[in-house]
Structure 1
C-alpha cells in the first residue's frame, strides 16, 4: 500500500495543496456568518423567554390577588354565619371572633336594622350597656358626625373591630349615604354579598381612605328579611399592596379599575414606572357582586432583568472565528512544511529498507522462539512477510505456504471482517475496506486486544485475542503491520459457562417476589451491595448498577423516621450475628410511600466485616388491609362515627392526661327520646336514618378536638378534652338546639335528653360515666328534651 494512499486530508475535507491564507479566510467568513445566525436565533429566543417570564409573573400576581379577594369573601361569610347561628352576640364575643379575621381588611362591623319607632328605645339600651351616651349619627355638610335625621329605618354601626388608629364610627347610619344605602339594598335584595362603588372610608387613615365596603345580610333563615348586616371595610391599597415587592424591585405595574364605575376611577395603581414593551394583560377579579379589571404591564425592573445577550454573542463569535482561522492557518502551513520533509526522507527510507531486510532473518529466529503465541507481520499492502513457529502450530499452515503469497485478511473469517469494517467506517466517518478492518482501531479501543475468529488449514475455526500495531522504521515512518494472536478458546468456554450460570440465577430471582441481595458491612463502616437482583430495582426504583456502586441510595429512599432505626438494626445484626428482620417505609419518586419487609442472614467474613444474604418484599397491600381492619374495629357501621371501643380507649388516654397535668375533661351523654316509638311506627330503616341525621347535625357542631361516639342503640357520648363543666353545658345546649330546631324528614321533630359531667380530682372512669348517665336519667325524669348538668356535691 503506497504511503500517499493513507494520508488523510486536513479536517477530512481540506486539500493539502490549498493555500493557508485561503483556508483561514474561508473559515473566518464562515464563522462570521454562523455568528450572525446564532445571534438572530438567540435574539428570537430571548423575546420568547421574556414573554414566557412575563406570563408567569402575571399568573402568579393574578392568583395571589384572586386568593386575597376570595379570602375576604370567606372571612366575611364566616362572620355572617357566626351571627346567624348566634343571634344574640355581645361585644366581647364579636371582638373575639372578628379580631383574628383582620388580615388585609381595615375593619369588620355589625350594624342592626332599627325602625323609626325603635330608635329611642335602641339608643337607650345601647347607652345603658356601654355606660356612655349612644346616638345614631350621620355625616353633616362639613363631614362631621352629627345626630341622624328622622327616617323610617336606620342601620347604625354597633360593633366595630378595626386596625385604624382613628377609632371606630359608633352609631354611624349607613343608610344616610347614597353609596352605602345602595350597597345595603343590593345585599338585602339578593341575600348575598354586595360591594359598594369606590368611596372615601369613614374612620380610616387618609393613606387607606380609598376603598370599598363589602356587605353581607344576616337573616334568621333563607328568604327572610335580614335583621342586620355584617361589613368588611377594605382598603384597596392594603388589600393589594401588602406582601408585594417594593416599587423599586417590582417587575410588574399593577392597576385595578371597577368595571361598574361609570367614572372608571383608578382603585389602585402601583408606584413603579412601566417599561416601553408592548406587553399588557388584563384579567377579571371578582369581589361580591362586582367585577374589577386588573391590568398588568412590565416595569423598568423587568426590563433590566431581561436584557438580551446579542452584543456578547456577536463579540464572542467574532473573536472565536478569528481564533479558529488563525489556528487553521498555522495548522495548514505546518503540515505543508511537514510533507516536504517527508518527501526528503523517502530516499533515506529506501536505503534503510535494505538494512531492514538484512536484520529480518535475525528477527525471525527470535519470533520462532515464541511457540505459544502467533506473531504475523505484513507490509503496507497486507501481504504476510513474517509467520513464526507459534503461528504454524496454531493455524496448521507452513510459513513457506503463506509468506509472500497470502494476506492477513485470508486468515480471518470473512463475514466477521465485513461486519467490523462497516462498524468502524460508521464510527470514523470514512470507508474502511474489510482487508484493514482488523488493523484499524477506534479511538476508544486504542492499544487494546480484540477478539477475532481465525480459519485453520483444515477449515476449523479458532477464537483468538489479537493485538495489532503499526511497524515503524528508525525515522518513525510506517512500513507495515504486526499482529499478535493468543488462543482464548478455553477461556471463552469458561466465560460462557459463567454467563449461563448468571442467566440461570437471573431467571430464578425474577420469579421470586421482591428482591434478592448480598450486602456487606466493612469494619470501617462502609456499606456495599455485592449482588442485587432486578427485583431490587422495582422495590427501591433504583437501577441495579447504581445500587451496587452506592449503597447509600437505598437509605436515601427510606422514610426519615425509619432510617436511623434500620441503620441501628443492621449494626446490631452485625455485632450479634443475629437474623435481621425489619419492616419500614420508603418514599419512592413514582409510587410514593410504600411499606417494605426485609430479612437477611449474616455471616462473618474472614478479613473482618459482615456479609448478609437476604431478600426484601413490598408489603404495602398487607399494611393497607391492616389499617382498614383497624378502622373497621373502631367505627360504627351504621352512622360512620366512632364506636364504644374507640370511646373507651380515648377516655382512658384522656384520664391519664388530666391526672398528669390537672387539666379539664368533660363528657356529654345523650339519649334519643321515644326512639322505640319511631322504630315501631315508621320501621327500622327510618330509625336508622334518624340516627344518621342526628350524627350529621351533632358532628357539624363539634370542635376538632371533641370525640363523638355511639355507645349502642340510641345512646351517644361526646368526649370533650380540655373542657370544664360550664363550657360543656354550653356545648350541650348548642347540640340540643341544633337537634330540635329543624324537623327531620318523615318523623318530624326529634328530641334527645342530654346529661353533662366533668372530671373530678381522684375520680375514675366509672365514676365519671355514672354521673353522666345519672344526669341523662334526671333529664328523662324531668320530662325529656332538655340538658341536665351534673349534680354538684353537697
Structure 2
C-alpha cells in the first residue's frame, strides 16, 4: 500500500482532515473566550477610569464652590471692618465700597439697630437725607411692605447695594420676619457671621429668590472706657444659591455633573440648589461638606447624561475586532495544521516516550517535588531510619545557618536540638508512656494525648545561637507503605512570640493605665444601620454607669437606659451631629444609677470616619457630681448675704436688670421698696455689734415672713434693704410697705426695744433705667428720714 494511502486516525475514528477543523474550531472558541475576557477586563478598567474622571470632576467642583463660599465670608468681613473702622459712613461712601464687592452676591446691606424711642427721629433724619419719605416697614400677610408695628427694637435696611432689577427693600425691618430675626440673634450672641435657614429673598427675581442671608454684627472698637460694647448694627450679604453656585459653571447641555445642595441643619431638608441638567443612569455619587458661616451644607454630586455620553465604553469594538482576529487566526492554523499532517505520528511517538520517562522518574523524584513545593521560609529536614539527615532544603539553610553539604550524611536531627530540652521531654514521655524513651527519639514520639501535632522546640544554629521553632515531626513512608525515615517541618516562631509578648505587655499596660485614670476610657461606634456599639470600655466604665464593660460591648443601649430621661434625647442628637460634622463631642448630663442614684457625668470624644461607613469615637467619661455640687454651693454663696442669709446686692442688681428687660418687652409693672433702719448706729454703739447683727437678722426674719414668693428681699449693705416686687404697681407696693412697717414696729426686739425703719416706694416708669428707679426709691427714703423717720413715703408723681 502506498504511503499516501495511510491516513492516521485520532482516537481511532477522527480523520486527519477532521482534526485540522477541530483545531481551528478550538482556536476560534478560545479566541472568542479570550476576547470576552479582554472585554470584561476593559469594562472593569473603563469603570475605574470613569470613577477616576468623576472623582476629579467632583474634587474640582468642590474646591471651586468652597472657594466661592470662603470668598463671600471674606467680602462680608471686609464690609464689616469698613463700618468698624469708620466713624460715620454716608450713602456715597457705602456705595463706593460695597459696589466692587458685588460678585456672585445679590446684595449687600447695612442695617443699624434702632430702639423704639429712636424710631421717629431716625425716620425723620433718613427722610431729610434721601429727600423723600422713609419709614421702617414690614411685610403683611399679602406680601406687601407696610409700616412696621410697635416693637422695642428695629433693624431696618438703611443702605443697600444690589444687582437685582427689582431694587432693594430699604426700610425693611429684619426683626419682623422670624427667620431673619433668628439669624440676627445668633450673630448678636456669637459676635461672628451667622447664616440663615433656606429662605425666599425679598426684592429678588423669582429665579434667584432661593438663598440665604449672611449677617455679621458691627461693634465699636474697644477703648479703655468701654472694653466691650454691643453691636450698633449689622452688615448683611444676600446670597442667591443659584447665582453663587451656577455662575461661571458649564451650561446644563455641557455640564458633566448634577449638583444638589442641602442645609444639614434644616429639619425639612430643603434643597437650596439643584442643577437643571438630567441625571445619568449611573450609581456614582459623591457627597461633600461645605461650610458657610455657622452652617454646614451637604453637596451631592452625580454624573449627568453629558458625562455618560462623553465616556462611552469601547467593549463593543473590542468584541468585534477580537472575534474577527480569532476567525483569521483559526483559518491560518487550519492551513498550517492541514499542511503538517505527517508530523502527527512523530509527535505521538515522542509523547509516548515522554510519558514513559515521566512514570519512571516519578518515584525517584517524590522527595524532590515535596522540597521544591515547600516555601523558603519553612525548614524541611528528612532523615533515614538511623536519624541521619538526607534532605536539607533552602529554608533550613536560611533558618539554621548551615549549608546542605555540611549537614547531609553527617549530622542527625538530634544534634540540631537543645540537649537539656530533649532530655526533659524524654523524661516526661517516659513517665506518661510507662517505658524509657531515648532523648534522640523525644521529638519523634507523641504523648498519649496528641497525634502528629506541632510542638515548640529550641534549635541550635550554626553560630551557636538558639532559635525557637514550631516543629511537626512525622514518619516518612515509601510507595509501598514501608517506613523509610522521618520528616520534620519547622517554622520560625521567634518574631511571632515577640509580637505576642509585646501585645500582652501592651494590653497589661493599657489595663493598668485605664485602671488608674479617673473615669472610663472607651471606643464607641455608630454604624450606618443606626447600630450603637462599644468597641472598648475600660474598668472605669463600671463605676460610671454601674454596668459591666463586657455587657456594654454586646449592647450599648444599656448606657442610654441609665441617662436621665430629660437628657437622653439631647445626648443622642449631639452624637448624631458629631458624626455628621466630625466635630468634637463634649457633653455634661445626668445618669440615674441603681446604687448611687442621680450623678452628673462629663464626656468628651474625638470622632473619625470609618472607611466602610459609620463613625468611631475615642473618648472618656468622668463623674463630676462633686464638682457640680461645689459649683452650686459657690453660686449660692456668691448671691447670699453671709450675715442675714438673704440675697445680696449682686443678686438684686441681676434680678432688677432681668425684670426691667421683661417689663420693657411685655409692658408690665414693677416696683421696689427701700428701707433703712432708723438710728442703727446708736444700737451698735449702745449694745455692741453682736446685738446689732441680731437686730438685722430678726428684721430679715420678720419681713421675709410677710413677703410673697415672687418678691425678692435683698440687703444692699449695712442697714439698707431692698424689696423687688415684680408685677406690682405703685399703690400695691405702698400697701405692702405699710404692712412691713407695721410688722417691724409692732413687737419690740429683745434687749433692744422697738426698732423702726424708714421706707421709700418707687414704681417703674416707661423709658426709665435702673439708676433712675433706684434714685427715686432712695429719694423717697431720704424724704421719710427728713419727715421724722419711722414712716412710709410713697412715690411722688412726676410734675
Fold shared by both chains (TM-score > 0.5):
no
TM-score by length of 1: 0.39
TM-score by length of 2: 0.39
